[in-house]
Structure 1
């Protein structure tokens, strides 16, 4: 219903002025009687007077207030759990939902629908195959979509099995949540692979564990066989005895990696007689087997506790293979089949000329270097052999300094608050003198003398010109680690700082002009796989418009081929409806007249959450209803539930909307003025005047 009223922004007696203005104008124009006679003269004067009075009235800018009143009926949302565990009851759910909706609409309720993955669902086409059940997100979705509306009740039709997200018990809603329970609450005899714990990455030739958790119910006294498979072959078999009604056991398989790339291992339980379901007897795990860690060469001029500290930091990370040597003990470098990814030089170069000649050799091969200066270091030789820092030493003096984090350094993702502990650690011994940071180098830590910060670098890096260099200007790292352990009970901050520094220096730069890669390495079955494509010209500027051919193969189905073109607006290419498995891809394109290829792999994981537990949880549904002021019901109580809703029906809500608008903005005002002017002009023309 709409109610309109006229509001004046001026005193009402201004209307008299409008009428007087119209009358005066008409009097002046029509005082001498025209050739049409007195009667027409009075009529035309009245039209002109009304027109002028109306225009003057509009100049007063009167407002129209429109008040719209809407009656909003009580709204009820029927939320349907359409997960795979509800599939056996699909027809029953459709029939009950239709019946409940019909009864509610007869009582003049406004009924809407929601499922786990869509709203306003069509019951006849709704598929009960959603791979997970997240009732908390379902309720939150309804809350968000109907915010501000007259939603009084939600009816959740579910079996109460939740396998994703938070429990809906602990998330109160601003409306009543009623639960309609379906399913079988009787525990069934079953044995399933509940969980498989494993490393995501393993190194070629190494052993790694695969830990299996078995959960059983109602199969006591029987034996089961657990198999670990790879490539269709059984790697190991274990026999277990089920000694109790509610059974749980952990098994650990030790596996040796023999093939590179992402490998699929399958844990399988041979079905036991009397078992309810065999669909939850298998689980696939995917482990990326990589060949070779990053090789770090740690060279020291003389024995020093810092060497042991650096080695301990690096060996705590499986990504690094550390080779260490003290050149004063053994001057012959260890042989290596592959070049080192980083060389750490502790007190090299030095005044004893131990290992100084090696630096030029490493520079020729563009091997990243990390210098650690100490009391035996030669600053003059260091100035000649590095491009990051110049030190003009004042005699042979040393200074004791602590580390102060440079907050403008952004090449590493460091936590400023964590690094505050550096101010409490023992000072390092550094050369005393003037420090000059060379072009392209940045300080990570500055030197702090006592409580006075300086701009002299304690730790810095230079990443320019393809020659990566890091410099720690002092010795005493071992004392840092010990003191941090005394203060915090762990050696996390110092270790993390140097691990990130080593990673920054040792990682290889990607100089390819053509790159194609999936946005994620792992996807769940049913997810869309997004490929990002990057093409660069000779100066590494992004270019677009190239035609890309993408080939996919998983070793089980025929290879698939896709063609697309890169554009600035659409840098991603999407592929959907892929089955679970390990996919290897090859992308090719013609870049600047040359054929370029990129290869890689990704994983599509099977979602088997719905096979984990098939016993309905009515207790959860009762708690959800109780915590949200609703009613727990089974199918026999639908009729009485609807009657109870009607008996306690909240009043319809009146929504009032008010709108103010100047009357001059209505389209019919201009039309009225044009009609009056046209009518006056037409009559005068017809009666013989201009």
Structure 2
């Protein structure tokens, strides 16, 4: 009990006793048993009321034992099945779950991982990618402050993400890899890497870089061929030996016709070569007949310019040049689009030239914009000039209907800065992003589009978009989503398509291990996003004529369908609305490539390095008894006794109230019985 409340309790007892004796003994001048009983009941009542007001508390300490966590992460990718380790892995997991000594010493938690990590439910070894890095990143966040050794059951081969050997350095606990797979080194030829641009331009040649690797001791020769369908387009004889175990081959192929063209690079297999799957690599190139050249016109230096240029040029179909207003007048015929960055008085001739050429524009405004001049240069937007600046965060308009905009968690993006004041418009605009201040969405546009006289324009009323690109990388470890967002704006300005109620976004071809995800947006007759639409896609394999129909799933501001389970081949599809007779068709190609089948052995050396740097130890799957013995004997993983200290009331107020009611009732009954009332 807290020491400072004890004097209050004693004082409360003295006061309660004094009042009770004063009323029933001193004041009545009687000292009968009834008076003493009534004085006692009054004392109990008053003392209980005082205790209720004082509410005395005391410290309660409870002790408990906390066992260390033992995390078991199992590789659930296709390579485990390909290396014929699937059943052994299932048996090992069952053994660990049933081991009594381990369960007495640790709290066992089982996970499976491929491209991402999940709670272990079933091991079916169907993951298309292996990313051990996600294991260490996730566990570092969740188990950073507890004892949590890790058993990593894997072949050590990684196909996705950052290098897990370096990511594991952030995991502060011992790691015990269990190696899956054959460690015997077989003779093997492999196309280690094939580099080619996704796009090529008509009547040009596109370069291809092929890295071929040999694993063996004897000198061998093989034929490297590149074919398109039944046509052989390249052939070269390669020689390997122990000293020269890799070859770099550079070649160029012509782009003679537009469209998607598929190719196959192949190394002729050696006699008795065990794995011939990794001798072949399929790839595709989309030949386009023109390239979009974008002019970024600015009279100042700003990080936004570099972010825009990198985002635009992330797509090989586009090129961006940062130029000054005076340079644009000399080069205007070279550009198909223009980005006007924070115009001032030197932009008058630029606006005149754009009007003459009828070029689509993307205008970005901010703190360096000369607003008085900007209001004169164009008639469509008039900004109230206050010479004060405000930070505005973006909020996505889910009813934007011109093109598909994925939600990049815009509400969590850093704010953009621009002029404070209301803007008025002389024509209808379509708002992509609203302005938000302190979490309150305003009716003012931050990013919007409009069309006038068959000319398209986009306006971003805020500077600092480079922070959005940086935030996207912090969130996703990639610039892809932001670059794709800018790319859609450029594509909108580059396209002459009319607005449609059903829009479908997809790639012309996908690699075999890519996620094949198509997105769609459906709008009602007033072009507001319809989140009650019933969309279906019918996908048909052109060669086998097999078709299947799959519904779309609503995800925030668009609909999505995942076709990642489709086999390699050419497909055509039709997306239809079941409620109305509206549809859109298209076609795409899935290349035949399984990265998980490229490995012949387990990566033993990397797993051993992983164990060494974390003060753990690696084991082979047939030697797991030694692992369990080490884990049980290791003093680093001892059970810890912990205590919880709570401050709790000395008396329950409910019982105290009941006690007060009982004593008052007894006092009243005795007084009534003895005629004192």
| TM-score, scaled to structure 2 | 0.62
Residues in 2 aligned to 1:287 and 1:519: alpha-carbon distance in whole angstroms: 16
1:105–1:504 distance in 2 versus 1, CA, 3 Å? closer
Match of 2:106 in 1: 109
Q: Is the 8 A contact 2:179 2:621 kept in 1?
A: yes
1:131-530 residue pairs with structure 2 within 5 A? 131-151=128-148, 153-170=149-166, 171-172=168-169, 173-204=171-202, 206-218=204-216, 223-230=221-228, 232-236=229-233, 238=235, 240-245=237-242, 247-252=245-250, 254-257=252-255, 260-293=258-291, 319=317, 407-408=366-367, 436-440=376-380, 465-466=452-453, 507-508=494-495, 511-518=498-505, 522=510, 525=513, 527=515, 529-530=517-518
1:662–1:584 distance in 2 versus 1, CA, 3 Å? farther
Match of 1:552 in 2: 539
Q: Supply the RMSD in Å over aligned alpha carbons.
A: 5.0
- Which of the residues 614, 623, 629 maps onto 1:628? 614
Return the offset for 1:263: 3.9
Query: Are positions 1:531 and 2:519 aligned together?
Result: yes
Query: Are positions 1:17 and 2:11 aligned together?
Result: yes
Residues 196-218 of structure 1: CA deviation (Å, up to 9, x unaligned)? 22221123554434443322323
Query: Are positions 1:608 and 2:594 aligned together?
Result: yes
Q: Is the 8 A contact 1:193 1:213 kept in 2?
A: yes
Residues in 2 aligned to 1:263 and 1:670: alpha-carbon distance in whole angstroms: 81
Q: Is the 8 A contact 1:518 1:529 kept in 2?
A: no
Return the offset for 1:285: 1.7
Query: Are positions 1:49 and 2:43 aligned together?
Result: yes
Q: Is the 8 A contact 1:518 1:602 kept in 2?
A: no
Q: Is the 8 A contact 1:266 1:282 kept in 2?
A: yes
- Tell me the SS of whatever aligns to 1:13: helix
Residues 419-459 of structure 1: CA deviation (Å, up to 9, x unaligned)? xxxxxxxxxxxxxx99953334799xxxxxxxxxxxxxxxx
Match of 1:299 in 2: none
Return the offset for 1:684: 5.1
Return the offset for 1:103: 6.7
Residues in 2 aligned to 1:48 and 1:563: alpha-carbon distance in whole angstroms: 76
Residues 581-621 of structure 1: CA deviation (Å, up to 9, x unaligned)? 45443334499x8x544344556566622222322332222
Q: Is the 8 A contact 1:180 1:635 kept in 2?
A: yes
1:220–1:552 distance in 2 versus 1, CA, 3 Å? same
Residues in 2 aligned to 1:347 and 1:226: alpha-carbon distance in whole angstroms: 45
- Tell me the SS of whatever aligns to 2:157: coil
Residues in 2 aligned to 1:577 and 1:590: alpha-carbon distance in whole angstroms: 23
Match of 1:356 in 2: none
Return the offset for 1:274: 0.8
Q: Is the 8 A contact 1:221 1:241 kept in 2?
A: no
Match of 2:429 in 1: none
Q: Is the 8 A contact 1:552 1:561 kept in 2?
A: yes
- Which of the residues 58, 72, 78 maps onto 1:78? 72
Q: Is the 8 A contact 1:154 1:175 kept in 2?
A: yes
Match of 2:304 in 1: none
- Tell me the SS of whatever aligns to 2:278: coil
- Which of the residues 116, 124, 128 maps onto 2:125? 128
Residues in 1 aligned to 2:134 and 2:650: alpha-carbon distance in whole angstroms: 48
Residues in 2 aligned to 1:42 and 1:571: alpha-carbon distance in whole angstroms: 82
Return the offset for 1:625: 1.8
Match of 1:575 in 2: 562
| TM-score, scaled to structure 1 | 0.61
- Tell me the SS of whatever aligns to 1:160: coil
Q: Is the 8 A contact 1:514 1:598 kept in 2?
A: no
Return the offset for 1:26: 4.6
- Tell me the SS of whatever aligns to 2:247: strand
1:229–1:676 distance in 2 versus 1, CA, 3 Å? farther
Highest CA radius of gyration, 1 or 2?
Answer: 1
Q: Is the 8 A contact 1:9 1:62 kept in 2?
A: no
- Tell me the SS of whatever aligns to 1:655: strand
Return the offset for 1:295: 9.4
Query: Are positions 1:674 and 2:658 aligned together?
Result: yes
Q: Is the 8 A contact 1:154 1:176 kept in 2?
A: yes
Residues in 2 aligned to 1:635 and 1:566: alpha-carbon distance in whole angstroms: 44
Return the offset for 1:275: 0.9
Q: For structure 2, which runs of at least 5 residues remain unmatched after alignment?
A: 295-311, 320-327, 341-347, 359-363, 384-448, 458-486
Q: Is the 8 A contact 1:526 1:577 kept in 2?
A: yes
